[in-house]
Amino acid sequence: MSSLKNRAMAILEEMGLENWVKNLQVMGNDIVLDIVSHSPAMHERKRLEQALKITFSEQLPEGNLKLNILVESQEKPAEIKGNDIPGVKNIIAISSGKGGVGKSTVSSNIAISLQKMGFSVGLLDADIYGPSMPTMFDVEGHQPHSVQVNGKSMMKPVESYGIKLLSIGFFAGTDQAIVWRGPMAAKALNQMIRDAHWGELDFLVVDLPPGTGDIHLSIVQQIPITGAVIVSTPQNIALADARKGVSMFQMEAINVPVLGIVENMAYFTPAELPNNKYYIFGQNGAKDLAEKIGVPFLGEIPLVQSIREAADVGRPAALQDNTEVASTYMKITQNIVQSLVERNNTLPPTEAVRITTMAGCSAAKK
């Protein structure tokens, strides 16, 4: 190191700035110094510049200081995300801004479609306002048993149609209005996630409560979500809330990839007029929103009586074989998997290939 450089460094050390130096070069008499300002405020940068110029001209008058003050990029707020759940590979959260748009129906049918593709699937009903999975999976009144795992007592999810299920409804009753505050709900959910013996799961589908308030934030922060799906009807009032839902996941402190938007109740076709489509809640609303805000459009589900009936009798419509409804859910689920693989940059390439192959999607672009 040239002596000029040594002396320059000694000055910086004396000033307590050595850790902020990004680059120090001496060329002839030129001392090139790139230094980071700890504050982006202009007056702070000016103060640092002045202090350096005065000190260098006094202590190193033969040197010609060429100063470049860098502003440290604002530190991102720390992402608040729960720890991984051992054995659970991917967690897909299904959310809607507005209530009653069919989020739980979509969740149950996506879980079934994933299972039909050959994946091992769990479904967590986190809808604290109206847990509907016990009804939709015909397991009302069931209670998870306790199992011993490595000397610890854990909840064993209830199984129905090959899906492992846990619902707040198993503990509080489905007909009971549950008015929980955020921290309480988040704590109960956390227990259902952490104290449950889910075993090995390719996918855990989480049916979130509708909305984007504090309660949702605390829930979303508890669960290490891989990607989020937003369900909306094409109606303006639902779309405005769906947009808020997308923004919630894209917040810096949450930062969960939005896998896309599903349009539910897109249109109605009466059985006696199979070629007619009636756009009861408006046309293409969710599709247009997806395009506008740059998130994938995952597909549309029409308003079909058998979907409602299937949900009510506890046998999700996607379980039917060779029906248009089942293939609609299958196509949407494939699009979700494809989007997940494309957006999840922490997914190892082998896993990306495995899940796209199993889902029957086109090859993973990884």
Ligand X SMILES: Nc1ncnc2c1ncn2[C@@H]1O[C@H](COP(=O)(O)OP(=O)(O)OP(=O)(O)O)[C@@H](O)[C@H]1O
Q: Write out the residues near ligand X by the rule CB under 6 A.
A: 96, 99-105, 127, 130, 132, 210, 264-265, 301, 303-304, 307-308, 311
Which residues partner with 27 through β-bridges? 30
164 is in an annotated binding site: no
Residues 6 or more apart whose Cβ sits within 8 Å of residue 124: 165, 166, 167, 189, 192, 193, 204, 205, 206, 207
Residue 176 CB, shortest distance to ligand X, in Å, is: 14
Number of Cβ within a 10 Å radius of residue 236: 12
100 is in an annotated binding site: yes
Residue 291 CB, shortest distance to ligand X, in Å, is: 22
Residue 117 CB, shortest distance to ligand X, in Å, is: 21
Nearer CB in complex with ligand X: 78/271: 271
Nearer CB in complex with ligand X: 131/296: 131
Residues 6 or more apart whose Cβ sits within 8 Å of residue 183: 218
Which residue, among 186, 201, 341, 189, has the nearest Cα to 257 in the 3D structure? 341
Nearer CB in complex with ligand X: 66/308: 308
The answer to whether 261 and 129 have CB atoms below 8 angstroms apart is no
Cα distance between residue 192 and residue 157, in whole Å: 9
In this structure, what token pair is assigned to residue 294?
């740059």
Cα distance between residue 32 and residue 100, in whole Å: 63
Residue 311 CB, shortest distance to ligand X, in Å, is: 4
Residue 207 CB, shortest distance to ligand X, in Å, is: 7
99 is in an annotated binding site: yes
173 is in an annotated binding site: no
Nearer CB in complex with ligand X: 100/213: 100
46 is in an annotated binding site: no
CA distances from 154 to 147, 163, 224, 240 (A): 5, 18, 20, 40
Nearer CB in complex with ligand X: 88/265: 265
3 is in an annotated binding site: no
122 is in an annotated binding site: no
Residues 6 or more apart whose Cβ sits within 8 Å of residue 272: none
Residues at the annotated binding site? Answer: 97-104
Residues at the annotated binding site for ATP? Answer: 97-104
